[in-house]
Amino acid sequence: MYELNQVSERCYYIQSPAKIGLVRLEGGEDVCLIDSGNDKDAGRKVRQLLDANGWRLTAIYNTHSNADHIGGNKYLQAQTGCKVYAPGIECDMTRHTVLEPAFLYGGYPCKDLRHKFLMAQESDALPLTAEVLPEGFEMIPLPGHFFDMVGFRAPGDVVYLADCLSSRETLDKYQIGFIYDVGAYLDTLEKVKGMEAAMFVPAHAPAAESVRDLAQYNMDKVSEIAGRITDMCNQPMNFERILQKLFKDYGLAMNFEQYALVGSTVRSYLSWLKDTGRLTVRFEDSMLLWERA
């Protein structure tokens, strides 16, 4: 873990629970990071790699604000003085990290949700725009998994894809990957299917020269889950019952963290299915019920 892997002349990734991109910049020993890992310990291990190679960190470009991608920001910023950038609403959530567990839970998060896996340390992030990127970088909008998530095409035609793809092994094990906006996520996967690059580096899947088949596998899993939810609602059903049936059908283990993560995702599926006309709602006995349209 935390091994440095080179994928082009200037592009690398650091193997970690969520891959960290590293790009050497033109004209010296300056480097930038794409994301920073899940906590202070990750930041410390990254700093050791930087020191061992004589590299100076100038900036961290966050793809989105999930805790496992911004957790090393605060430590690395304090140690190196580097700037931190994050796109759109992700910048606000990087600066005010309680927003992630609050959003997932739908209210003030109890202590069970206020931990480093869902709530990183806050960092002094600035808005990520095309103007602050290094020369040769292209920012790629990848919405769906989270609010304003982006990826990057870096020198050497290496594309860092953030969290828009899960590996087959992850999907087969956990079944329901986290999604904020199902419609936008499917659009992103369709776009990724058509991309070409010398190398793709997803955060949660192996680096590869092609990700077309994996993108389709992720799309197929979304269709499967959407179909399962729709079938459940042949009879009117409330949210808690839908969530319970999904956990039982897929053999998932319920705890507070999974209730928040999977529950938020299931609500997103329900919203998308309603907006696309496959589900409707009724209010009965002071309860919101979902049913097939």
> Are the CB atoms for 205 and 165 separated by under 8 Å?
yes
Residues 95 and 167 in one domain: yes
According to the model, what pLDDT value does residue 274 have?
A: 98
Asked whether the beta carbons of 48 and 4 are under 8 A apart, the reply is no
- Tens of pLDDT, residues 270-279: 999 999 999 9
- Domain encompassing residue 18: 4-220
Q: How confident is the model at residue 292, as a pLDDT?
A: 98
The predicted pLDDT at position 136 comes to 95
Same domain, 274 and 130: no
Residues 259 and 123 in one domain: no
Q: What is the mean pLDDT of the chain?
A: 98
The pLDDT assigned to 28 comes to 82
DSSP state of 208: B
Kindly state the average pLDDT of the residues 198-202: 98
Split into its structural domains, the chain has a count of 2
Q: What is the CATH number of the domain that holds 269?
A: 1.10.10
Q: Tell me what pLDDT residue 32 has.
A: 98
Q: pTM of the full predicted structure?
A: 0.97
User: Given a cut of 90, is residue 210 above it in pLDDT?
Assistant: yes
pLDDT at 280: 98
Same domain, 157 and 212: yes
Tokens of 180: 């904020």
Say if residue 153 is in the same domain as residue 174: yes
List pLDDT tens digits, range 2-45.
999 999 999 999 999 999 999 999 878 999 999 999 999 999 99
What are the C-alpha distances in Å from 136 to residues 192, 265, 282? Answer: 20, 35, 52
Same domain for 243 and 194: no
* CA atoms of 23 and 6, how far apart (whole Å): 10
- CA-CA distance, 233 to 279, in Å (whole number)? 8
| Tens digit of each residue's pLDDT (9 = 90 or more) over 77-86 | 999 999 999 9
Q: Token digits for 254? A: 């319920």
3-state SS class at 83: strand
List the structure tokens of 57. Answer: 């960190």
Give the residue from 205, 220, 235 where a domain finishes. 220
Of 194, 220, 246, the residue that ends a domain is 220
Residue 209's pLDDT band, with cuts at 50, 70 and 90, is very high
Same-domain pairing of 192 and 272? no
Q: Which of 160, 194, 220 is the last residue of a domain?
A: 220
* CATH number, domain containing residue 98: 3.60.15.10
281 and 144 housed in the same domain: no
pLDDT recorded at residue 27: 78
Over residues 91-102, the pLDDT tens digits come to 999 999 999 999
Q: pLDDT at position 279, please?
A: 98
129 & 210 share domain: yes
- 254 and 127 share one domain: no
Largest CA distance in the chain: 68
Give me the amino acid identity at 189: L
Q: What share of the chain is helix, strand, coil (3-state, %, to 5)?
A: 40, 25, 35
Mark whether 119 and 158 lie in a shared domain: yes
CA–CA dist 218, 176 (Å, integer): 10
Co-location of 23 and 141 in the same domain? yes
